[in-house]
Amino acid sequence: MAPPKGFVTGKGVLRFAAMLAMLMAAGTALGQVAKEPAAAREVKLDLYEPPNPTLVRPSEDPKRTVNGLALVPPMGWNSWNKFGCNVNERLVRGAADTMVATGMRDAGYLYVVIDDCWQVDRDAQGTLIADPAKFPSGMKALGDYIHSKGLKLGIYSDAGSKTCGGRPGSQGREYQDAHTFAEWGADYLKYDWCWTGVRKGEEAYALMADALRSTGRDVVFSICEWGKDRPWEWGPKIGNLWRTTTDIRNAWTGRVKFQIGIVDIVDLNEPLYAHAGPGHWNDPDMLQVGNGGMTDVEERSHFSLWAIMAAPLMAGNDIANMDARVRDILLNKEVIAVDQDRLGIQGHRVRDDGDLEVWSKPLADGGRALVLFNRGPVAAEIAAKWTELDYPSKMSAEIRDLWAHKSLGRKAGSFSATVPSHGVVMVRVTP
Ligand code: GLA
């Protein structure tokens, strides 16, 4: 039979083709797209190559569908920012109890996320083992407890051989771990990126997304590769949220090792606003409200900016022992409503006058959330014009102050206020 057009016979070429195929298969088995040796390029033009379905990027695969979860930004509590590796079942149960007792659950904080260091090893079957000293009742019992409170269980793993805390990672055991998590009742998986070597983010996260889907359980999938490989470009059909930056520091500004301050994160996360939407969110990391590294004014700005950016709201403090001041920030329902608005648009800067900024977020009722933000060292007046909010100048609109919890009456054309240093004035503008 005649060979297909373009197929070159001859032993040398066939041997070369076989070698190339073996090289590609080896590369793919390691989870990478094989790199073609430079010398092969010309020869390859002569080879007949049927389309290889394994080379379709997961985000471009027409068969891949969204999981339909997290239509508004997920909210909850996570152990990491305050407790790091000192996590145990007493702490997690206490957090769950607090979320009910303080009204956090009813305000929308649903996920109780156990971050790194809960795992110690694998058993003879390769199943992950939770630290028996710290989680003596086991993860299934903890999941049941969390569910009995009307909350949801979040768990943590890593796409590499180890987690960032040096515990066993999920690489090569994605399906086994996904099914273990599902048996424990996990509703949320934060999947980190340490010890991943030369893995490609998109493929590694798609693999775990598929493993989670195979369990039949609804699991919100949190991509945590720190924005390294532009997850906002490939993430929407793979996960529900993706970290856009390295870790958040408990400080207003400045980098220390892998951690950066609140305003540094804001500046990296803001330009990505067009990539966010229902089911797929930019994640500027968990909240540092209540952790003591900022003033009260700065903590309110942090919470307001996260809300106007439609960020996941994961409390990261010791909620069981928080005072009324911190509770009032985390439980500001008018600010939370901006974050959770069902239109799901991430707000962004509409004016940048150096230290003085105007931010706007369109809301489902046609209104706007507005943040006047003063980064400077002294209080200053900031004005927002209606035209900057895409409103006609003459239109009158109701202004509601979301921190003072009071109506400021109707205004036309613009709204202005004096904003303290490092502070915000946050209002809702409703035509
Ligand atoms: C990384 C993540 C953090 C946290 C730690 C745990 O640094 O970005 O959010 O999960 O790992 O080790």
Task: List the chain pLDDT tens, one digit each, 431 residues.
Answer: 333 333 333 334 344 444 444 444 433 333 344 444 444 445 455 566 666 656 789 999 999 999 999 999 999 999 999 999 999 999 999 999 999 999 999 999 999 999 999 999 999 999 999 999 999 999 999 999 999 999 999 999 999 999 999 999 999 999 999 999 999 999 999 999 999 999 999 999 999 999 999 999 999 999 999 999 999 999 999 999 999 999 999 999 999 999 999 999 999 999 999 999 999 999 999 999 999 999 999 999 999 999 999 999 999 999 999 999 999 999 999 999 999 999 999 999 999 999 999 999 999 999 999 999 999 999 999 999 999 999 999 999 999 999 999 999 999 999 999 999 999 999 999 99
Ligand 1: centre distance to CA 164 (Å): 6
Nearest Cα to Cα of residue 424 among 278, 254, 228, 262: 262
Query: Which residues approach ligand 1 with their CB closer than 6 A?
Result: 80, 115-116, 163-165, 192, 224, 247
Annotated catalytic residue within 115, 192, 318, 339: 192
DSSP state of 421: T
Residue with tokens 């003085």: 356
Position 49 scores a pLDDT of 62
- Name the residue of 80, 119, 188, 257 to mutate for ligand 1: max ligand atoms within 8 A of Cβ: 80
| Number of helical H runs and strand E runs in the chain | 13, 21
Residue-level length of the chain = 431
Whether residue 61 lies in the annotated active site: no
Strand order in the sheet with 255-256: 247-248, 259-260, 255-256
The answer to whether residues 32 and 24 touch, using CB atoms and an 8 Å cutoff, is no
> Distance, CA 163 to ligand 1 centroid (Å)?
8
Q: Alpha-carbon distance 98 to 58, whole Å?
A: 40
Crossing angle of the two packed helices 296-308 and 262-269, in degrees rounded to 10: 20
Token pair recorded at residue 351: 């004016």
Task: Provide the token pair at 209.
Answer: 């997304």
Q: Could you say which DSSP state residue 87 is in?
A: -
Spatial contact of 370 and 424, defined as CB atoms under 8 Å apart:
no
Distance CA 326, CA 294 (A): 12
Buried-state track 90-129, b at ≥16 Cβ within 10 A, e below 16: ebbbebbebbeebebbebbbbbbbbbbbbbeeeeeeeebb
Atom of ligand 1 nearest to the CA of 247: 8
Residue 357 sits at φ, ψ, to 5 deg, of -135, 150
